[in-house]
Amino acid sequence: MNKHRKQILPDLTCMTLTICLAFCMGQATHAEHADHDHDHVDGGKEPQPERLHEALSAAVANDKDDHDHSNCTHDHSKPEVEATTRETSNAKITGHANHDHTEPSKHEEVRSAKNTEIHDHANCNHDNGKPSTPEHEHSTPTAVTRRVLPTAAQIARFSISTKVVEFGSITRIVRVPGEIKINSDHLAHVLPQTAGIVQHVSVRLGQKVKKGQVLASIASRNLAEAKAAYLTSEERFNLAKEIANREEQLYKKKVSSEQDYLTAQGSLAEAQIQVRSTRQTLLTFGLRPDELPQLKNEAEENFALQRVVAPFNGTVIEKHVVLGEALDETSEVLVIADLSDVWVDLLVSQDDMASVIKGLKVSVKQPDGSETEGVIDFISPLVKRETRTAIARVTLDNSNGQFRPGTFVDAAIHTPSGRNAFIVPLDSVQLVDDQPSVFVKKGKAYELRSIEPGERTGDKIEILEGLSAGESVVSSGAFHLKSELTKSAHSGCSGHSH
């Protein structure tokens, strides 16, 4: 046991000396680099010569004491181990001495990055409850309620104004297609009253005509025969009347028999009937009653002419006659329409028929963008099988000729919604994060409020949920508030530079 102890102690002593020497040299080298690099945070103090001398003296004393106590010689049977240990220690010392300390250590880089991050974070304004500095001029939203606090300059520049919400009913708009048509109550297909040859045409297509104006003349043999029959019946009537008067006087004087008197009265009645029959025939040919007494004196060349006249004031919209054309009683000569008013036939879906009634207000929009107001005065009791629509008709004044039959139009029928709700201007509603919203005034701030919209008409819209009575919403400039809210929400600290 003692023998082995005597062999181990010298080795431990040598290793102790080697470790102490390496530690002291490392401390000295570390202090030297600390003098050249002031940024080294963990720089050590310069080792004192007295401390090095004391450490070496203590190691020598312990080694001597162990030799005296054991009274034995060192066993140098393992020189390779000691040499290897010393070489390893010397290599570590030499490597540390040759280490380049011109660059900061990894610890220094980490600490530098953290200090920079802390500096940027400290200089960033994270106070969401206060407006930003004037140099940025951003309105600031609160994180929870999403309010916008614009500056006075922004309010003036964006023309931001508010309006107290209204409570009431709004009309629902039913949009339907339509077509302008001729008022068929003021439409006439002009036909000749008898067959004949066209002798004269006095009007052209699109011309405006007056009631009774001559449109064309037709030479008709039938008309000449009817006039002759009328004149003959007139003469026979006058003759029968004279005979009847004479027989009546003779009968009263008892000169003539009663049979002769009755025969004369019968002939008079027959002549009168014949006159009435021929007279009516001439009237059906287009002659006026005041023209009949003048037939005896009518010129020969006009005796067979039938005049085609306008039945009322209007416009010639169709013309189907030319000079020399042979016509009969079924030939359509002209079409005349009174366009002082027109119809607008609206095609209403069967799903909307329940809410469309007579008397509702209608806005008719033409292709050029002009709009005219009207009222529904007729609703068809039938639904077309092909389109499943019914006709709702509006009559519009067309005295200035602004409506042309055949034009397709768009119409908006104003039907009552049948409920009461809050009503705000249409410009108040903005789409924020795919949610319809309004800005409600709260003190000097404007709070974003999600709402549920209802029906809209013109520049107004229903608000079914999200508002209370007496609240004021932004009626003008809401879009700019939305822009400020979006810009502030996405800017964060990215817009600040240090």
Mean pLDDT of all residues in 216-242: 91
Q: Per residue in 455-479, is it b (16+ CB within 10 Å) or e — as a string? A: bbbeebbbbeebbeeebbbbbebbe
Higher pLDDT, 77 or 375: 375
Instruction: List Cβ neighbours of 274 (8 Å cut-off, separation of 6 or more).
Output: 233, 236, 237
Please report which residue ranges of 99-220 form alpha helices under DSSP H. 106-123, 152-158
pLDDT recorded at residue 23: 55
Q: What is the pLDDT of residue 454?
A: 85
Mean pLDDT over residues 95-102, rounded?
Answer: 40
Contact 308, 217 (CB under 8 A): yes
What's the CA angle centered on 468, arms 465 and 470, to 5 degrees? Answer: 145
Instruction: Output 63 or 475, whichever has higher pLDDT.
Output: 475
| Candidate from 91-100, 441-450, 484-493 with smallest mean pLDDT | 91-100
What letter does residue 468 receive in the DSSP assignment? -
Q: Residue 411 above 60 pLDDT? A: yes
Long-range residue pairs from 240-247, CB within 8 A, at least 24 positions apart, any chain: 240/264, 240/267, 240/268, 240/270, 240/271, 240/272, 241/268, 241/271, 243/267, 243/268, 244/268
Q: Which pLDDT does position 252 carry in this prediction?
A: 87
In tens, the pLDDT along 240-293 reads 999 999 888 888 888 888 888 899 999 999 999 999 999 999 988 888 888 888
Mean pLDDT on 173-185: 94
What CA–CA distance (Å, rounded) separates 488 from 301? 96
Per-residue confidence band for 11, with pLDDT thresholds at 50, 70 and 90: low
Share of the chain above pLDDT 70, in %: 69
pLDDT tens for 291-332 read 888 888 888 888 888 888 999 999 999 999 999 999 988 899
Q: Is 86 exposed, middle or buried (0-12, 13-18, 19+ CB in 10 A)?
A: middle
pLDDT over 90 percentage in the chain: 38
Mean per-residue pLDDT, 445-462: 87
pLDDT at 437 over 90: yes
Residue-wise pLDDT for 100-129, tens only, equals: 444 434 334 333 333 333 334 333 334 444
Q: How confident is the model at residue 193 (pLDDT cuts 50, 70, 90)?
A: confident
Topology classification of domain 172-184+338-416: Elongation Factor Tu (Ef-tu); domain 3 (2.40.30)
What value does the mean pLDDT take over residues 422-427? 90
Question: Which of 32 and 395 is assigned the larger pLDDT?
Answer: 395
Mean pLDDT of the region 335-341: 95
Average pLDDT over residues 44-68: 45
Q: How far apart are CA 282 and CA 298, in angstroms?
A: 14
- Locate CATH 2.40.420.20 in the chain: 147-168+420-491
Per-residue model confidence (pLDDT) at position 493:
39
Flag whether pLDDT at 56 surpasses 50.
Answer: no
Please tell me the predicted confidence (pLDDT) of residue 197: 93
Q: What is the pLDDT of residue 19?
A: 60
pLDDT of residue 329: 86
Query: What is the arithmetic mean of pLDDT over 205-216?
Result: 93
Confidence of residue 8 (pLDDT cuts 50, 70, 90): very low
Mean of the pLDDT values across residues 184-207? 92
pLDDT digits (tens, 9 = 90+) for 371-402: 999 999 999 999 999 999 999 999 999 999 99
From 17-31, 137-151, 369-383, 473-487, the region with the lowest mean pLDDT: 17-31
Mean pLDDT in the chain?
A: 76
Give the pLDDT confidence score for residue 285 in this predicted structure.
Answer: 85
pLDDT at position 187 over 80:
yes
Whether domain 147-168+420-491 has CATH 3.40.30.10: the reply is: no
Averaged pLDDT for residues 357-365: 94
Contact (CB, 8 A) for 182 and 492: no
Residue-level pLDDT at 116: 36
Assign 458 a pLDDT band (cuts: 50, 70, 90). Answer: confident
Q: What is the pLDDT averaged over residues 26-32?
A: 48
pLDDT of residue 16: 53
Q: Give the pLDDT band of residue 149 (cuts 50, 70, 90).
A: confident
The stretch 399-421 carries a mean pLDDT of 90
Average pLDDT over residues 450-476: 88
Mean of pLDDT values over 190-216:
92
Pair type for strands 171-182 and 408-416: antiparallel
Q: How confident is the model at residue 26 (pLDDT cuts 50, 70, 90)?
A: low
Q: Which two tokens stand for residue 286?
A: 């287009």
Among 173, 174, 182, which residue's Cα sits nearest to residue 389? 174
pLDDT at 455: 78
Mean pLDDT of 3-20: 50
For CATH 2.40.30.170, list the domain ranges present in the chain. 172-184+338-416
Q: What residues are paired with 143 via a beta bridge?
A: none
Alpha helices in 190-318 (DSSP H): 221-252, 258-284
pLDDT value for 473: 93
Angle at 37 between CA 35 and CA 42, to 5 degrees: 85
Contact partners, residue 376, CB within 8 Å, separation at least 6 = 346, 356, 357, 358, 359, 360, 362, 392, 393, 394, 413
Of 75-79, 302-306, 318-322, 357-361, minimum mean pLDDT range: 75-79
